[in-house]
Chains A and B, each alone.
Chain A
Amino acid sequence: MRKLLSAMTALAGGLMLSTQALAQEIRNPAAEWEELWDEVIIDITVIGVIMAVAAIWMLIKFRATGPDQVGTAKKLTAAQSISYVLIPASIFMADDFYLAANGWTVWNAYRRVPENAMEIKVTAYQWYFEFEYPDGTIADGSDFSAIKVPVGQPTVFRMTSEDVIHSFGLPYYRVKEDIMPGRITYVWINPIEAQTEAVLQCAEFCGEYHSQMANPIHVVPQAEFDTWLAEKAAEG
């Protein structure tokens, strides 16, 4: 009895802890994207292989042996006809809703910005980006130089355009959202590790230099970020 009680207490405690953890957890959309990708690829590979094997088997097995031979498939009865719709449709829909549910979960990771996120305002022009940090410092991206973000600091980009439609495409963090005149859109990233590989690129066709519109986004230690920001502020 005592054992059962203690087990129940532990369970209840665990549940409470995990709820608290959920509330505070800062998710990592890019990692969740990769997991979902693997899952979807397995899903479509299984369907594809089954269907391909069936087709190849039939294309070989049912070759005509004589010039006057005809197919011998029987006419379906009404019950068979309906079953051949309802059963596959149920399977397809089950898979659809399963994928939709998982896709929705990841979607929430992308759209719910953590409360402690640093906000950078992005303005897009033909053909460069401009970044405004919370302290008002402006980093002009028109020289295509690296833009810096402190490591471990969730960062949200609030974006608008001054001319045509652009798009904030950041393949390293598996995220993208259009930047439009007259509207404000956002993306956020969770830069858990320092890196100097990510490149922000324009991903919506915007004219002659569309393919040149890019800035590296470096995730650096806080001290290095502070120095860089101070330099940018001094440049004014």
Chain B
Amino acid sequence: MNTPTTTAGHKATPAWKEWILTTDHKRIGILYLFGSMAAFGVAGLMALIIRLEQTQLGMQFVSSGTQYNNILYFHGAVMILAFLIPGLTGFAANYFLPLMIGARDVAFPRINAFSVWLFYFAIILALLGFVVPDAPDIMWTGYPPYSITTSANTSMYVFTVHLLGFSSILGAVNFLVTVIYMRAPGMGWNQLNVFVWTTVAAFVLQLIFIPVLAAAVTLLLFDKYLGTSFYDPSAGGDVLLYQNLFWFYSHPAVYVIFLPAVGILFEIIATMSKNRVFNYKAAVYVGIWGTVGIAGIVWVHHLYISGMPDWIRLGHMVTTLLISVPVGILTLSLWGTLYKGAITYNTAMMYAASCLYLLLLGGLTGIPLAIPSMTLHLSETSYVHAHFHFIMALFSAFALFGGIYYWFPKMTGRYADGPVATVSFWLNFIGVNVTFWPLFIIGKEGMPRRYWDYAMFKDVRVMGYSFEDFHLLSTIGAFTIAVGMLLQTYNFIQSAFAGKPAPTNPWKSKSLEWTHTVSPPGPGNFGDTDVVVDEDWTPYEYNKG
């Protein structure tokens, strides 16, 4: 009898089965991390093809405009739906939220396992969508009538959204119940980590707005395959209904990504500065919840050039500009947390510091886009493309990578810091600037998004350079990021097995995931004693003064 047995005498479950059938929130978090990083890798490759194709006039790397559109669709849909959202609300929230509130698991562990399964089904479906002969070519926005009249497979898109939406709704309910009912005894609302608050806010947004997206894409499915006419004006439908429904979800979705990224940033900066969060209550109640409050009344800024009535375009100009109030308060709290801190530098803190720059750049370049008259020209140009990459994609991805470095010792018991980490950070940081600054510049001169060719600009010169020169620079930047990301991936894998061993609380944090668990935490997280916190405990109390 060589079969390994547990102490109870049952056959031990093989490791792969233990992972697939796991209901442990930490393992589920790691599964989300693998899935979202895989999605990031594939969608990143697509980005390189897009950059290569745009480098020169004419068609060089893709075989047809449709193939280019397939790649563009895949890049956008997968980066947002399968990398950013699951990376932040799947991986980071799953692994660390229960630890931060002193819970032994989430409220419904099996539903949590089902959520991650749905996520994997969705990724597989999205990947299959790329190998079928009629791959979707409808951009991640899927606007009708194009998505209905195209010969491509819109249903792949719709079902991917359904699966991910279902997964997110289950996750949202699960985590809201967990935070409301399973906090450690003694832990009041004003003692929560900022990351916990941002995650709660993100899940509230998911719960409110996902059903709208699900309805919008389902009507798309009916229109295309069942012959209904919800979006067909020739039969009494409305061509703009979809755009309104879609952005009613998809603008809040930006905050589903942005807020947890800000939360991670607060954790890293407060810990590395050994400082209390500046004006915590303002950050939470004005910053985070103000953003949630305003999230649902700004979507028309995605429709500034869609022929909406003038009064609603101007109304949404005001609400959109007012986003600067909650986001400004969050920014002040981030800045204030550095003030009179005792800052130590490591890879996590370098990512966090670069996020402050990305937040400023991405946030401020959004102000012209809040003004409809400005947007009449800037909309659908590479200016918009650069803006949302800086604020949504790069800011959030850098916060996530910073978070991985920050929590790496917790997940593996080893550091991921070192020369490779530093080099890959600088390659990534320089790379994103070289990639997206040129797009701001030619975008302002009219370079449209979603073009594989731009022959109409062949004689235009900006500061003495042609559009091709700017695109070339951007492509060089993209490949710099690619090298940085490959190095970083190698570094994560290498460090997980052979990194320098780390103590239980290497950053001397006051947060529960560091002070009350071993690294990595075992089943049930906290050993035999339940976590109880004092009335005056907070995760940021470094200096009792």
Contact = CB atoms under 8 A, between A and B. Distances in A.
A40 B69 contact: no
Nearest to B73: A205
Contacts of A176: 305, 376-377, 379-380
B17 interface: no
A70 B137 CA distance: 54
| A68, A74, A99 pick with most chain B CB within 10 angstroms | A99
Given A62-B273, A211-B65, A110 B373 contact: yes
B371 A92 contact: no
Contacts of B455: 212, 214
A85 B339 CA distance: 17
A180 B365 CA distance: 29
Nearest to B380: A203
Contacts of A209: 65
A136 B431 CA distance: 54
A64 interface: yes
Nearest to B448: A203
A186 B525 CA distance: 62
Contact of A55 (B324, B356, B452): B356
Interface in A1-43: 29, 32-33, 36-37, 40-41, 43
Interface stretch (B128-136, B176-184, B326-334): B326-334
B318 to A, nearest CB: 6
A207 interface: yes
Interface string B355-375: 011001100110110111110
Contacts of A32: 373
Contacts of B332: 84, 88
Interface string B174-212: 000000000000000000000000000000000000000
B274 interface: yes
Interface string A165-182: 101010110111110111
Contact of B451 (A29, A111, A211): A211
B245 interface: no
Contact of A36 (B143, B342, B374): B374
Nearest to A204: B380
A177 B377 CA distance: 9
Interface in B244-284: 273-276, 278-279, 281-282
B377 A70 contact: no
Interface string A149-193: 000000000000001110101011011111011110100000000
Contacts of B370: 99
Interface stretch (A45-53, A117-125, A221-229): A45-53
Q: Which size class do A's interface residues fall under?
A: 35 or more
A183 B324 CA distance: 34
Interface string B445-466: 1101111111111000000000
Nearest to A185: B307
B543 A70 contact: yes
Contacts of B449: 205
Contacts of A114: none
Interface string A66-103: 00111111111000010011001100110111011001
A69 B233 contact: no
Contacts of A84: 279, 282, 332, 336
Q: Which 7 A-B pairs have the closest CB atoms?
A: A182-B233, A171-B446, A71-B275, A103-B371, A211-B451, A64-B342, A96-B321
Given A62-B338, A167-B380, 4 more contacts: A37-B444, A73-B340, A96-B321, A103-B371
19 contacts: A33-B374, A40-B368, A55-B338, A59-B353, A63-B343, A70-B342, A71-B340, A72-B342, A89-B328, A92-B324, A96-B325, A104-B317, A107-B313, A107-B373, A165-B239, A178-B305, A181-B145, A207-B146, A207-B150
Interface of A: 29, 32-33, 36-37, 40-41, 43-44, 47-48, 51-52, 54-55, 58-59, 62-65, 68-76, 81, 84-85, 88-89, 92-93, 95-97, 99-100, 103-104, 106-107, 109-111, 163-165, 167, 169, 171-172, 174-178, 180-183, 185, 199, 201, 203-212, 214, 216
Interface of B: 64-66, 69, 137, 139, 143, 145-146, 149-150, 233-234, 239-240, 273-276, 278-279, 281-282, 286, 305-307, 310, 313-314, 317-318, 321-322, 324-325, 328-329, 331-332, 335-345, 353, 356-357, 360-361, 364-365, 367-368, 370-374, 376-377, 379-381, 444-446, 448-457, 508, 542-543, 545
